[in-house]
Chains A and B, each alone.
Chain A
């Protein structure tokens, strides 16, 4: 379990990093390494070069902006989870982050790295998709913003170009009166979920995002659906699959169970916080 040989660069600025990436088509960005390094060690990936962005100053910022919170590319899961700003502006982020891996991994792994890694079993891509957030990337032709709806193109595949670096992610704030909730079922504490669901309710609008039910994070609009029919309505738009841990039918059952639960608790959250504000 040792990686194949690779070159290693540790640029001091985004511009330099972008330049290096542009010069080596087979390079990979290294952030927290919690997904990339296992892939290298198992020789499931063998990039010619790693471009380590950890020496680039300023990338670990967590900032409240108009309408949301911006999380820098080097902000670790643990820092984001602990941030009172994030919790206040968009409580769904820490709700979901609490389910990401284990403490030691959250200490190194980055939230932006998780978004770019684009694992359909990961929590944060679903959260970003459900909230309609975005990722800012820097590349040879300058900076652009990729909305979540355009970020996920396939299993473990984001729409970033190979010579682009994600510099931050933007999670929109929770609107007043809205509510959120997150629940998942994993075989063991801290594992990737068998099925997970995040809900956003805002007045009449009800949306639920799912992890581990398809190749990409999936958001389903359940506005106007009767409470009793939420699960079946969601399933009509999802196609859970079999794997060694669960049958498709069992995943479907979890979708049924979790959908009702997250929608209910998102409403409860909204009610409680509305009362609190009064």
Chain B
């Protein structure tokens, strides 16, 4: 038997290409052609009325082909961009126009779109557009939004886009009755995804076929396709969207259509030329999306053991100037905050607020880092209050392994019940304690203190709903060469899909791993798909691919059984050859089975002769049996009832410098349970990347807006994304594999987990080292120094 590839650390097939610089990204598309390049005039003001736009000087610039403003948009293009995920609580949802109409609401909002011979000329032209503004007072930050002395949108009272409350039991009454209570106020600032490749779109209109070809760096090619077709008044069948290699997404590319994803196709069609837009770094800072900014107020009641009796959480979410992605982020915070715990009585209410800043859409973790931070800091506070070990307080609140499925009684981000499918939190806790050396830490801390050094330890737990619906599909095609071509519609941003999906197909079909080729994100190959977000690709497309391969295999066995005059049950497929068990001589390879699957009238090569009408088939039956199709293909979809819930725990040991307040990571440990592992190496890579981003979010990155709404650090010089030198050298990882009962492979998502507990663990560890409450994240040495001074005075 061929060894199973599921569970093996198979080397990534993508890496040869990526490491040798042979990746092909949107900006590499159509380089050899006479492509026109676009640049965007963006608002320099956070809030202003547009009185007049004068483009007269632009048309004189040699090499300029077109300039568009709002007045040039017609039909659906002139309407606001879609509100992708409506919600009844989003009573005041607003989206921007592809090009600003009358008013701008954040620095960076698109106002005009110039198409020119090259990007240099396009930027020269942009610099010549003159706009008359009437300044309006900007609203920056959650405090200003709540105060509502000024409004972002005139017709949104109080700057409140939505208010949503959920309650299980009676939290307030339970807290009132509880023997102990605490309240906490916790803040998280904004950060952003910052993929190395920003957004980018290329479009070409084919006047002969009346088709539009779009390449875009997205996390949902089918979503972009539908939006482009609607906005441009084209039939869906006239629009093809291909997502080539993507240099990182992390969430920002799931929002769509971005203005440029519509403007580029519009210009390509109008001008009859291929048009390209490649976002630059400054644009990414001021015109893509941010996340994380939230303020939380927590009231909690508990007993002598630290058991939660009631939890009441109120929080304010800064969603920026517009709400294209609905309430997904705050809904996730409000539900996933509960983590592995049973709060007994829980009430959560949030307000999603407008500010004159870049809009907020999900960033890896998507509201969970904030929720985890709120819950885990509460656990730490309870432990400190009771003088108990922080892990004991957590343990008494865990949902136990025999309590699954466990219904938290809330509605999750997909509109379905928040029902955990499986997990083993006590086992995770034992593992993380051993991995980080929890029980030995107090002795180490005392030993360091004797040397005048300060060290602290933090621990945080999370549960992550992964693999949300509605569905994904897959198509598996065994070609006459024996090669297996697999297509799934969601996109890939470097996760290694081509490797893990090929592992699943090779296992199911019994073909060599090397013979499987996976295509993602091409609407020509799989027009029905949702996208890559919410740690869902392995669960959703992985399951769909597994099912589609199964169907293909059924067909292989049927045809082979006939050809070999054997019973299907006696057949096996090993290394791409179907044979009768026990008599290896009686065999047929997958390529030949594929030839036989497609009855031919015309032969075109030696192999195909075998399938022609005088060579094959029972003359008494139709060449293609009833209920069958020609070709050796399998297609299937996977659509689960609800999400599957991965979980894990992180722990960190930090040292803080008594003089300079520098924060050094001494040890970082992760225990991770994403169900059955397809490829442990890839899962560990996801964890490493997530932890690196988490270190950035906790200790380095923030969006430094000033009061007028200018982003002061819109470059990699001042936005401190960590270098490899700032990320821990080694991250200790241990896995638990609690299978999901919801899908055929028993898997759960793994993409986001690494980033979720970072704010929580670092705050806890720094607090432990310093003996000062840490309530605002991220934290810099300068801020820690300020806290020390405040604390000592």
Contact = CB atoms under 8 A, between A and B. Distances in A.
B123 interface: yes
B741 to A, nearest CB: 45
Given A246-B782, A250-B781, A250-B782, A188 B722 contact: yes
B606 to A, nearest CB: 55
24 contacts: A1-B123, A1-B281, A2-B119, A2-B120, A42-B282, A43-B127, A185-B660, A185-B662, A187-B780, A188-B700, A188-B720, A188-B722, A188-B723, A189-B723, A189-B726, A190-B723, A190-B725, A245-B782, A246-B780, A246-B781, A247-B785, A247-B786, A250-B661, A257-B659
Nearest to B120: A2
A5 B781 CA distance: 42
A244 interface: yes
Nearest to B658: A257
Contacts of B712: 244
B430 interface: no
A86 to B, nearest CB: 25
Interface string B458-474: 00000000000000000
Given A190-B723, A245-B782, A1 B700 contact: no
B704 interface: yes
Nearest to A254: B660
B789 interface: yes
A1 B785 contact: no
A189 B725 contact: yes
B124 interface: yes
Nearest to A256: B659
B570 interface: no
Contacts of A253: 659-661, 785
Interface residues of A, number: 24
A40 to B, nearest CB: 11
The 9 A-B pairs at the shortest CB distance, nearest first, are namely A189-B725, A250-B782, A246-B782, A1-B280, A2-B120, A244-B704, A257-B659, A250-B785, A2-B123
Interface in A194-221: 194
Contacts of B124: 4-5
A249 B127 contact: no
A83 to B, nearest CB: 25
Nearest to A250: B782
B192 to A, nearest CB: 16
B660 A187 contact: no
Interface string B651-664: 00000000111100
A33 interface: no
Contacts of B718: 244-245
A177 interface: no
Contacts of A250: 661, 781-782, 785-786
Contacts of B661: 250, 253
Contact of A247 (B127, B720, B725, B782): B782
A185 B781 CA distance: 10
A68 interface: no
B713 interface: yes
Given A1-B123, A250-B786, A254-B660, 20 more contacts: A1-B280, A4-B127, A185-B660, A185-B662, A185-B781, A188-B720, A188-B722, A188-B725, A189-B723, A189-B725, A190-B723, A191-B720, A244-B713, A245-B718, A245-B780, A246-B780, A246-B782, A247-B782, A249-B789, A253-B661
Given A2-B119, A244-B713, A187 B725 contact: no
Interface residues of B, number: 30
A3 interface: yes
A184 to B, nearest CB: 11
Contacts of B123: 1-2, 4, 43
Interface of A: 1-5, 42-43, 185, 187-192, 194, 244-247, 249-250, 253-254, 257
A43 B39 CA distance: 14
Contacts of B120: 2-3, 5
A250 B124 CA distance: 42
B128 to A, nearest CB: 11
Contacts of A187: 700, 720, 780-781
Contacts of A43: 123, 127
A43 B785 CA distance: 36
Contacts of A42: 282, 715
Contact of A249 (B662, B726, B786): B786
Nearest to B715: A42
Nearest to B726: A188
Instruction: From B120, B660, B662, name the one whose CB has the most chain A CB atoms within 10 angstroms.
Output: B660
Interface in B531-559: none
Contacts of B726: 188-189
A189 B720 CA distance: 11
A185 B782 CA distance: 11
A194 B789 CA distance: 19
A5 to B, nearest CB: 7
A190 B700 CA distance: 15
A252 to B, nearest CB: 10
Nearest to B720: A187
Nearest to B712: A244
A189 B725 CA distance: 6
A250 B120 CA distance: 42
Nearest to A185: B660
A244 B719 CA distance: 10
A244 B659 CA distance: 20
A253 B658 CA distance: 11
Contacts of A185: 660, 662, 781
Interface string B691-720: 000000000100010000000110101101
A187 B778 CA distance: 13
B791 to A, nearest CB: 14
Interface in B642-686: 659-662
Interface string B755-781: 000000000000000000000000011
B349 to A, nearest CB: 33
Contact of A1 (B282, B725, B780, B789): B282
Contacts of B280: 1
A194 B660 CA distance: 11
A192 B786 CA distance: 22
Given A2-B119, A188-B726, A257 B786 contact: no
Interface string B265-289: 0000000000000001110000000
A192 B717 CA distance: 9
B729 to A, nearest CB: 13
A191 B661 CA distance: 18
Contacts of A247: 782, 785-786
A173 to B, nearest CB: 32
Contacts of B282: 1, 42
Interface string B205-233: 00000000000000000000000000000
Interface string B723-740: 101100000000000000
Nearest to A258: B660
A185 B662 CA distance: 9
A242 B28 CA distance: 42
A246 B720 CA distance: 13
B788 to A, nearest CB: 10
A185 to B, nearest CB: 6
A232 B436 CA distance: 41
A2 B785 CA distance: 40
A192 B718 CA distance: 10
A22 B23 CA distance: 47
Contacts of A5: 120, 124
Instruction: From B124, B717, B782, name the one whose CB has the most chain A CB atoms within 10 angstroms.
Output: B782
Contacts of A254: 660
B571 to A, nearest CB: 58
